[in-house]
Chain A
């Protein structure tokens, strides 16, 4: 197992494991999380197997109430590994409509590109009509970020991902700040957190720009700035997170023994 990318810090966990652990800790018991597959789903499963046993996990293929068994982590949003032990398998549109109705506390997303205001791009690098790199697209990410009550983004912290302005807003967070999200008609959801392998970020209440709020052990503000392609605000009181515990890492590794997502 390699270092998580911070120079001088050898750690016994991968960037994806750190992301999953820090993501899991954001979730509160007796709530519902609408999770993307991959690391967000892993994080939700970890939360359910530790401090949030009554967490309702939802995935967009139309599965509500996942209870993932070790070694049976679904790799898509619609497969039997996910539906096993679920409480309901509604039609896809109806699954999203629960979010529009306000039933899901958290949205849990990854992203290819993220900007100063938290907007996500999973559609295209370069122009949409003739992209330099075509990405898979929104899937349910746009709906999750628009409709869930509180949205948490999980992503590795790299300069090429953290850009001043995304090439395409697939999933809108604070748009251009200063209340533009509300003015666009996105009345209910709020993007509260960006969890990375370097730290925890939030958003400035007034302006809506990204702000560093906590560092993971051994990470410096300079290291975060180095990997951020825009001028990053730093909270006046910067916290330090607790490193992943042996128990958290053990659960993650049992859930994803093939390391499809753990790196």
Chain B
């Protein structure tokens, strides 16, 4: 387990000047803030609000030695492994979803020792981000106790100083970089999310550098009219990029549903050709198209509009 000293994490935040100012960037400029070897926290959950445009650009820029930290890991974890960008995944679960079975890529990389996997419980990961969001070294919890997750993570226990009961202590997870996708942001980085917020707000507070793609960049005045909707303040954000359909083929609440048929085609390729199919997928979808718009063209307007219609029906 990699640990960042909470005092050092605070010094790094104090050294930054992120209040005010224009954070608008291109996805290429934003992704350049990711360094080889960084621990990268990815927002959303499983196939919901995955920052796909940022993940794609990180891979295009050829980053190496990354540690991916995510609550439930989906196709983006497979991409990072097969592209050779990540050597370790810190997560509680990895696959696409029950109907697609156990991830063959997870199996290949774990069973052949090609990557390391550090498994926490779902709340365990959440409390690690929460502890960092609070500027603390750890948080106590009543979860994970007695399980073999304690051994593989190195989580410690202590006797409660007030009651004497045993508590599990999860260490704060301070990622170097957070990649997030939100519904709306203004150019100074204030972010608003519709629907389930997952862990994004904690992750934004926990990370040293925060990169955001938004479905829409809105005027600051619009944020000021609805400040109750802001869940990530601009002063946490380093770069913000407008990317419509920025999670596709994963979902964005109210805007487009995840493309399950696309997942099925992708998994059928892996069933037939193993990780070579993921390499082909990356060539086709991530490396060949010059821009994210070109990437979306591969899915086609018809598919995007169909998934948008499903989302509207479900949130009507």
Query: Interface on A for B, CB 8 Å cutoff?
Result: 37-38, 60-63, 72, 75-81, 83-84, 89-93, 96-97, 100, 123-124, 128-143, 146-147, 168-172, 175, 180-181, 184-188, 260-261
Residues of chain B within 8 A (CB-CB) of A137 are 91-94, 117, 119
Closest Cβ of chain A: how far from B102's Cβ, in Å?
6
The docked-state distance in angstroms from the alpha carbon of A96 to that of B72 is 14
B45: Cβ under 8 A from any A Cβ: yes
Residues in B40-75 with C-beta less than 8 Å from chain A: 45-48, 71-72
Chain A minimum-CB-distance residue to B198:
A92
Closest Cβ of chain B: how far from A140's Cβ, in Å?
4
Q: A93-B202, A136-B106, A138-B92 are in contact. Are A143 and B46 (CB under 8 A)?
A: no
Q: A75-B99, A92-B126, A184-B166 are in contact. Are A131 and B142 (CB under 8 A)?
A: no
Q: Find A84's partner among B46, B95, B167, B315 (CB 8 Å cutoff).
A: B315
Say whether A134 contacts B106, CB under 8 Å: yes
Query: Interface on B for A, CB 8 Å cutoff?
Result: 45-48, 71-72, 91-95, 97-99, 102-103, 106-107, 110-111, 113, 117, 119-124, 126-127, 129-130, 141-149, 152, 157, 165-168, 195-199, 201-202, 251, 253-254, 257-258, 260, 311, 314-315
Say whether B198 contacts A80, CB under 8 Å: no
Say whether A146 contacts B144, CB under 8 Å: yes
Q: A61-B198, A93-B126, A139-B93 are in contact. Are A79 and B258 (CB under 8 A)?
A: yes
Closest Cβ of chain B: how far from A64's Cβ, in Å?
10
Q: A61-B48, A93-B202 are in contact. Are A186 and B197 (CB under 8 A)?
A: no
Chain B minimum-CB-distance residue to A72:
B314
Closest Cβ of chain A: how far from B128's Cβ, in Å?
10
Q: A100-B141, A100-B142, A170-B147 are in contact. Are A78 and B198 (CB under 8 A)?
A: yes
Say whether A138 contacts B149, CB under 8 Å: yes
The docked-state distance in angstroms from the alpha carbon of A91 to that of B120 is 18
Closest Cβ of chain A: how far from B270's Cβ, in Å?
15
Residues of chain A within 8 A (CB-CB) of B95 are 136
Q: A139-B93, A140-B121, A171-B147 are in contact. Are A62 and B314 (CB under 8 A)?
A: no
Closest Cβ of chain A: how far from B71's Cβ, in Å?
6
Residues of chain B within 8 A (CB-CB) of A61 are 45-46, 48, 196, 198
Say whether B146 contacts A185, CB under 8 Å: yes
Residues of chain B within 8 A (CB-CB) of A147 are 123, 142-143
A-B contact pairs, 8 of them (CB 8 A): A62-B45, A77-B72, A79-B48, A83-B314, A132-B111, A133-B111, A142-B149, A143-B124
Say whether B165 contacts A91, CB under 8 Å: no
Chain A minimum-CB-distance residue to B96:
A76
Residues of chain B within 8 A (CB-CB) of A146 are 121, 142-147
Q: Find B165's partner among A62, A93, A175, A185 (CB 8 Å cutoff).
A: A185
Say whether A63 contacts B196, CB under 8 Å: yes
Closest Cβ of chain A: how far from B194's Cβ, in Å?
10
Say whether A186 contacts B145, CB under 8 Å: yes
Residues of chain B within 8 A (CB-CB) of A168 are 148
Closest Cβ of chain A: how far from B223's Cβ, in Å?
20
Q: A169-B147, A261-B98 are in contact. Are A80 and B121 (CB under 8 A)?
A: no
Closest Cβ of chain B: how far from A257's Cβ, in Å?
14
Closest Cβ of chain B: how far from A190's Cβ, in Å?
13
Main DSSP-derived SS at the A contact region:
loop
Q: Find B122's partner among A81, A143, A175, A187 (CB 8 Å cutoff).
A: A143
Q: Find A170's partner among B148, B196, B251 (CB 8 Å cutoff).
A: B148
The docked-state distance in angstroms from the alpha carbon of A136 to that of B106 is 8
Q: A61-B196, A142-B144 are in contact. Are A91 and B72 (CB under 8 A)?
A: no
Say whether A142 contacts B165, CB under 8 Å: no
Residues of chain A within 8 A (CB-CB) of B257 are 79-80
The docked-state distance in angstroms from the alpha carbon of A130 to that of B112 is 7
Chain A minimum-CB-distance residue to B49:
A78
Say whether A139 contacts B72, CB under 8 Å: yes
Say whether B110 contacts A134, CB under 8 Å: yes
Residues of chain B within 8 A (CB-CB) of A76 are 46-48, 97-98
Say whether B146 contacts A123, CB under 8 Å: no
Say whether A84 contacts B314, CB under 8 Å: yes
Say whether A80 contacts B195, CB under 8 Å: yes
Residues of chain A within 8 A (CB-CB) of B98 are 37-38, 75-76, 260-261
Say whether A77 contacts B123, CB under 8 Å: no
The docked-state distance in angstroms from the alpha carbon of A123 to that of B126 is 19
Residues of chain A within 8 A (CB-CB) of B91 are 137
Residues of chain B within 8 A (CB-CB) of A38 are 98
Closest Cβ of chain A: how far from B86's Cβ, in Å?
16
Residues of chain A within 8 A (CB-CB) of B127 are 93
Interface contacts beyond A83-B314, A138-B120: sample of 18 additional A-B pairs, CB < 8 Å, sorted by A: A62-B196, A62-B198, A75-B98, A78-B72, A79-B258, A80-B253, A83-B196, A92-B198, A93-B129, A93-B202, A96-B126, A133-B102, A134-B107, A137-B92, A147-B123, A147-B143, A186-B145, A188-B142
Residues of chain B within 8 A (CB-CB) of A129 are 113
Closest Cβ of chain A: how far from B193's Cβ, in Å?
10
